[in-house]
């Protein structure tokens, strides 16, 4: 059950998928607390080794934040909330929500406090290296399909509706993939670039 701490100025409640448990993260000084379903825990910011914040701006993808503790434990935050079939949320069931304000309020403040609490922590922005490489590979295949298909039809002087439709489908994906490719993968996060409409105090 959501409590006042989770809904505080530095709290964020999310549910990344329709079959996931509700999750909540909130800051209390230099300690990050979390709740996943009925399980709770906390970690001192000094024990967080890295943070990667991907706001996915310019795309329709979810904003995400990945935290890795020194022990290797991974925390994955998202701005997505899938309403549950409960008395309070039933009327919103099936309609995806984007909780951008609370996501930014928590992660922006977390990044600033983490930098102060643990100067050695790696703080990055953008997609993960694996995601970036996979996107580049998919884009390369899409380009090869479009160019290769067009070349074959020219060589054989024959128009193939089915092949053309497949080529068009591949071409449609390229603008969607481009923002991820353009990002160049994970990069150091400049805390001065973090701005939200109503930034909470550090």
In tens, the pLDDT along 12-63 reads 999 988 888 899 999 999 999 999 988 999 999 999 999 999 987 767 778 9
List all residues 6 or more positions away from 163 whose beta carbon is below 8 Å from its beta carbon: 149, 152, 153
pLDDT of residue 58: 66
Give the confidence band of 8 by pLDDT, cuts at 50, 70, 90: low
What is the residue-averaged pLDDT of the chain? 84
CA 80 to the chain's CA centroid: 9
CA-angle at 51, arms to 69 and 12, nearest 5°: 95
Q: 8, 26 in Cβ contact below 8 A?
A: yes
Give the model's pLDDT for residue 5: 60
Tens digit of each residue's pLDDT (9 = 90 or more) over 116-134:
999 999 999 988 788 878 8
Q: Is residue 197's pLDDT more than 50?
A: no
Does residue 113 have a pLDDT over 90? yes
Closest by alpha carbon to 50, among 36, 66, 34, 38?
A: 66
Q: Under DSSP, is residue 64 helix (H, G, I), strand (E, B) or coil? A: strand
Distance (Å, whole) CA 84 – CA 22: 9
Domain 11-126+186-193, architecture per CATH? Roll (2.30)
pTM above 0.85, yes or no: no
pLDDT at 2: 54
Could you report the per-residue pLDDT of 78-106, keeping only the tens digit for each?
999 988 777 777 777 777 888 989 999 99
pLDDT, tens digit, 9 for 90 and up, residues 160-188 = 888 788 788 888 878 877 777 777 778 88
**Which pLDDT does position 199 carry in this prediction?**
46
Write out the two tokens for 155.
């060589």
pLDDT-derived band at 200, boundaries 50, 70, 90: very low
Domain-wise residue ranges, the chain: 11-126+186-193, 129-183
């Amino acid at each position: 059950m959501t409590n006042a701490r989770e809904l505080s100025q530095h709290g964020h409640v999310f549910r990344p998928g329709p079959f996931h448990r509700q999750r909540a993260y909130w800051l209390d000084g230099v300690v990050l607390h979390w709740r996943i379903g009925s399980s709770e825990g906390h970690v001192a910011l000094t024990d967080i080794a890295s943070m990667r914040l991907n706001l996915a701006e310019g795309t329709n993808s979810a904003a995400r934040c990945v935290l890795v503790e020194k022990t290797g434990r991974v925390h994955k935050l998202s701005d997505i909330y899938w309403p549950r079939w409960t008395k309070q949320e039933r009327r919103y069931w099936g309609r995806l929500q984007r909780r951008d304000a609370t996501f930014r309020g928590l992660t922006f403040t977390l990044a600033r406090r983490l930098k102060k609490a643990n100067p050695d922590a790696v703080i990055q922005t953008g997609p993960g290296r694996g995601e970036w490489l996979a996107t580049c590979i998919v884009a390369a295949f899409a380009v090869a399909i479009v160019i290769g298909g067009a070349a074959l039809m020219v060589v054989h002087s024959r128009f193939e509706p089915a092949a053309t439709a497949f080529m068009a489908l591949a071409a449609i994906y390229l603008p969607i993939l481009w923002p991820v490719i353009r990002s160049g993968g994970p990069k150091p996060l400049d805390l001065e670039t973090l701005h939200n409409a109503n930034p909470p105090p550090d």
